[in-house]
Structure 1
Amino acid sequence: MSLKYFFSRLKKPKLKPKIFTALAIFFAVFLILPLSPLSAFSANSSAKIQFVSPNWLAENSQDKNLRILDVRNFPLDYIEGHLSGAVNIADTAFRGPREGLPVQYWNNEKLGQIFANSGLTNNSRVLIYSDGRDVLGATMVAYLLERSGLKDIAVLDGGYTGYKAANDVTKEFPQYKVGKFTVKDNPSVRVSLNDVKKLIGKPGVTFIDPRPEKLFRGEENIWIRNGHIPGARNIPWVTFMDAQNPHKLKSLDEIKKILADKKIDPKNDIIVSCSTGREATLQYVVLKHLLGYPKIRIYEGSWTEYSAQKDLPVATGDEKLT
């Protein structure tokens, strides 16, 4: 039924009141529903991010759409040895200054250029790895790929060290043609500073802060103001990782227990905020894509941006679980 037909019928007296009421409700819902707060989540893509073993790469190595990103930050590490076919693009290349703030994600046009120059297209499947504690760089790039519209993304569990322990690596550089990558921005994965202001203290909203305990408590003098967002739960990112290899996840059962001990309700609207928006990506990937939490987003500006706003509340000391 077209809107023109509907309104033409309103002029005719034979239209029954009950039908008029039903149609009015229908069009009201149809027009208003997209403005609902839930629309941010309903707009969420069907992207998949997974942590995979080295065997996964062996099983998928013949896929012509598969691209491998080595996001280690020191180029000589890559030159000395890397996974066959891997392209080196340091995770630090994805961020820079914006409006005076450091380490902010580049705009969509520049992100698209970086991905295209790395051999990606919008149809690529992507495997990402780094090494050691820089698993955060791998999950950050995975998050940015989801944010940019890619659907099939994987992080190598155990990273380069874990892979090299049982597999051959190479010094040969890959050969490929630079294609086209158009960023299809997905705003449902993140919140802005204005969103954060409205969500602080709101029932059904949980902030998770994955920074080290001393930074969370405000005991180290790093930022303009030190501490955390009031009400935030402190779950340091390293608690999710294997003690011997911080690029390898603990079992999901162990991670579930960590979350349960912190009284994280999967049904809540969960915002992950860290120092610069990098640490947050690990818990975002794990909670959303591995554990299936339905409403989880990243505050990209994180404490770098928040602490510079002198009118916003700052809490210090230990978290207060309720």
Structure 2
Amino acid sequence: MDRLILSQVIEPEELQRHLDHPNIRIVDLSSAETHAQFHIQGAINITYARLVRHQTPVFGLLPDKAALNQLFSELGIHRDTHVIAYDDQTGGKASRLLWTLDACGHHHHSLLNGGLHVWATEGYSLTRSPSMVEPGSLRVSLCADACADKDYILQHLDDQSVRFLDVRSEREFSGQAIHAKHGGHIPGAANINWLDLMDKGRAMRLKSNDELTKMLQDQSITPGDEVVTYCQSHHRSAFSYIALKHLGFNKVRGYAGAWSDWGNHDDTPIER
């Protein structure tokens, strides 16, 4: 069967049309309690903790290959599987799964715009029935192009073709709110709060492409740039990573660990 091709961000009606496609795997990053009450037909529930590794004081690192291979097997993901992710919040958890798939060399995936809230409030069907899947065969093949780390950023601080997008709050960006040893931001970084990417009038869906493009252009970020996106741990910035990919940015990297890494070193340059 031909591989299913879907947009990076899809609306509920598009998912509804493909619910029974054999190459789709729907993954629910909602809480276990919410999933038990109701979820989309065929969805497999996993906890966010499966997607991150902590090495105090650094949070949000990529898990090791063995853990990820086990996760992908449990989710029933194969090389031709198109993964659609959603959560019961604002998309950060679901986006972290999709970035993880990119980082592991699997690029066939979509984010459900607005997540479970939009699906439910717009009247699409929900179920309590658990879903069972056969083990998947996908194996991790790390894709460096999706990732940035401290060393990579240090090497590109003066590279005019690489932009750093900090999606934390303005107070975190300015160093007024500090959640690491040091406060502030990576030198030269632009700041767009991840919540500002969402349309409060449309149930926290992504804003329109025109609105998002204007926001980025106002920060001198264009599709020809390479963009490294970060937050405190690469939860919020995973959502911005997916938003950029949705807009057609081809060179996007996520900084796992993010400010919990950069801000806890004494030798990393910081602006306030």
Q: TM-score, normalised by structure 2?
A: 0.92
CA distance in 1, matches of 2:104, 2:203: 27
Q: Structure 1 48/185 Cα, relative in aligned 2: closer, same or farther at 3 Å? A: farther
Q: CA deviation at 1:99?
A: 7.1
1:114-156 deviations in whole A, cap 9, x for unaligned?
Answer: 12112222221111101232x0111111111122222321111
5+ long unaligned stretches in structure 2: none
Measure, in 2, the Cα distance between the counterparts of 1:48 and 1:99: 38
Cα gap change, 1:76 to 1:126, in 2 (>3 Å): same
Q: Aligned to 1:242, which of 181, 199, 208?
A: 199
Q: Which moved more, 1:190-199 or 1:76-85?
A: 190-199
Mapping 1:199-214, distance limit 5 Å: 199-214=156-171
Aligned to 1:256: 213
Partner of 1:122: 79
Alignment partner of 2:222 out of 251, 265, 270: 265
Q: Which residue of 1 aligns with 2:53?
A: 96
Flag the 1:113–1:305 CA change in 2: closer, same or farther, 3 A. same
Give the structure 2 partner of residue 132 of structure 1. Answer: 89
Percent identity, aligned pairs only?
25
Supply the distance in 2 between the matched residues of 1:97 and 1:137 (Cα, whole angstroms): 16
1:59 and 2:17 correspond: yes
Paired with 1:100 and 1:145, the residues of 2 have a C-alpha distance of 25
Residue 153 of structure 2: aligned partner: 196
Shift, 1:294, TM fit: 3.0
Q: Which moved more, 1:118-127 or 1:253-262?
A: 118-127
Are 1:302 and 2:258 counterparts? Answer: yes
* Runs of at least 5 residues in structure 1 that lack an aligned partner in the other structure: 1-46, 317-322
Q: Displacement of 1:284 after TM fit? A: 1.6
Contact 2:228/2:253 (<8 A) preserved: yes
Does residue 142 (structure 1) correspond to residue 98 (structure 2)? The answer is yes
Residue aligned with 2:242, SS? helix
CA drift of 1:265 comes to 3.2
Write the mapping of 1:1-322 to structure 2, written as runs, cut at 5 A.
50-72=8-30, 74-98=31-55, 101-133=58-90, 135-165=91-121, 166-244=123-201, 247-287=204-244, 289-316=245-272
- Measured after TM superposition, the shift of residue 93 of structure 1 is 1.9
Q: Read off the aligned partner of 1:125 and give its amino acid letter.
A: H
Computing the radius of gyration from Cα coordinates, the structure with the larger value is 1
1:270 partner SS: strand
Deviation at 1:246, TM superposition (A): 5.8
| TM-score computed with the length of structure 1 as normaliser | 0.78
What does the per-residue CA deviation read over 1:282-319, in whole Å, with 9 as the maximum and x for residues that have no partner? 222222x2222232212223111111110111111xxx
Gap change, CA 1:168 and 1:294, over 3 Å in 2: closer
What do you get for the CA RMSD once the two structures are aligned?
Answer: 1.8
Separation in structure 2 between the aligned mates of residue 211 and residue 60 of structure 1, nearest angstrom: 35
Is contact 1:211–1:234 with CA below 8 Å preserved after alignment?
Answer: yes
Return the alpha-carbon distance in structure 2 between the equivalents of residues 208 and 48 of structure 1: 26
Q: Relative to structure 1, is the Cα distance of residues 104 and 246 closer, same or farther in structure 2, using a 3 angstrom cutoff?
A: farther
Q: How many angstroms does 1:245 deviate by?
A: 5.5
Give the partner amino acid of 1:291.
L
Amino acid paired to 1:57: L
Task: Tell me which protein shows more helix as a share of its residues.
Answer: 1
In 1, the alpha carbon distance for the partners of 2:163 and 2:57 equals: 29
**SS, match of residue 265 in structure 2:** coil
Counterparts of 1:49 and 1:113, CA distance in 2: 27
What SS is found at the alignment partner of 1:142? helix
Q: Which amino acid aligns with 2:117?
A: T
Alignment length, in residue pairs? 267
Match of 1:44 in 2: none
Judge conservation of contact 2:23–2:80 (CA < 8 Å) in 1.
yes
One-letter code aligned to 1:221: I
**CA offsets 1:263-286 (integer angstroms, 9 cap, x no match):** 213322321121101222222222
